[in-house]
Amino acid sequence: MQPAHANNILGPLSVRLPSSEGMRPDPVDFSNDELRELNRRFGVHGPQPALAQLFTEGLDQLQPLRNHTLGRLEDLRPLIISHSRRQGINPMLVAAVLYDELQHAKPGEDNPIAVRSGLFNTQGPAQLGFEEMVKQGQLPASVSPEQITEARLKLLDPDRNVELLVGKFARLSRALGLPLGRVMMASDSSADAKALATLAYLHNGKLDYPGRILRYMQDPALHALIYGRRSSSISALI
């Protein structure tokens, strides 16, 4: 039996989950009503082009790149845990998003010279823009070019960047009317799984993204990294 709140986990959105007798709903199966309401309130970009999806899947199969990404994520582990605990966000959601962003980062985008040039719109491990700092009240709504450049350089700081990502999920959770005071777990209920998928969707805005993030959240290596220790015996050359 589903929890009483499972059919209306999006709070103020008033969107109902599809019901399926004897089966748990697919958390990444967004109804047309849900998509319209999410688009109205937050804006979305639709599915990632098929060619881009194939490129993403291809990168995910490269073991040396995966090992390198896990190593970078391991350096961020203390920040993920501390900021997630403070704001009541599932650290696996944060780790999965960071893993995806690090795995598909563009060369040179974290170079301060490139940042000052305005070549890239997003910065840091979570690939966030200064607009999120505005939404969290860290910058005024009307910002000067100089303030934008300064903000972008601040986003290169891993601590500041991870904190902003966790703050983004907390901000979106409040806007969606999601449960506060407890960490949502995809394995606990359909409601939690759908909520986590929705947060992932709103972070990236692409329909294929929530499924990828939920898969990463179940990745044994990421689980070991966050909740245990990753084996150091894996060769980076495998």
State yes or no: pLDDT of 160 exceeds 50.
yes
What SS3 class is residue 128? Answer: strand
What does the pLDDT read at residue 181?
79
What does the pLDDT read at residue 186?
87
State yes or no: pLDDT of 35 exceeds 90.
no
What SS3 class is residue 18? Answer: coil
What does the pLDDT read at residue 115?
85
- pLDDT interval class at 217 (50, 70, 90): very high
CB 160 within 8 A of CB 154: yes
What is the arithmetic mean of pLDDT over 188-216?
92
Cα 232 from chain centroid (whole Å): 26
Q: At what angle do helices 190-204 and 158-176 cross, to 10 degrees?
A: 120
CA count, 13 A, side-chain hemisphere, 30 = 28
- Residues 114-149: tens digit of each pLDDT: 888 888 889 999 999 999 999 999 999 999 999 999
State yes or no: pLDDT of 19 exceeds 60.
no
Q: What pTM value is reported for the model?
A: 0.81
Q: How many helices (H) and strands (E) does the chain have?
A: 11, 0
What gap in Å lies between CA 197 and CA 218, rounded to an integer? 13
What gap in Å lies between CA 65 and CA 236, rounded to an integer? 8
What is the arithmetic mean of pLDDT over 150-158?
95
What does the pLDDT read at residue 61?
61
Cβ neighbours of 173 (radius 10 Å): 21
Mean pLDDT, the chain, whole residue set: 82
What is the arithmetic mean of pLDDT over 187-201?
92
What gap in Å lies between CA 201 and CA 94, rounded to an integer? 13
Q: Which two three-digit tokens encode residue 49?
A: 């082009």
What does the pLDDT read at residue 22?
47
Report CA torsion sign: 99, 93, 81, 83.
positive
Q: Which two three-digit tokens encode residue 104?
A: 């598909």
Closest CA to 93 of 205, 203, 207: 203
- pLDDT interval class at 229 (50, 70, 90): low
Q: Domains of the chain: which residue ranges?
A: 56-105+158-227
- Residues 68-103: tens digit of each pLDDT: 899 999 999 999 999 999 999 999 999 999 999 998
CB 6 within 8 A of CB 191: yes
Q: Which of the two residues, 82 and 45, has the higher pLDDT score?
A: 82
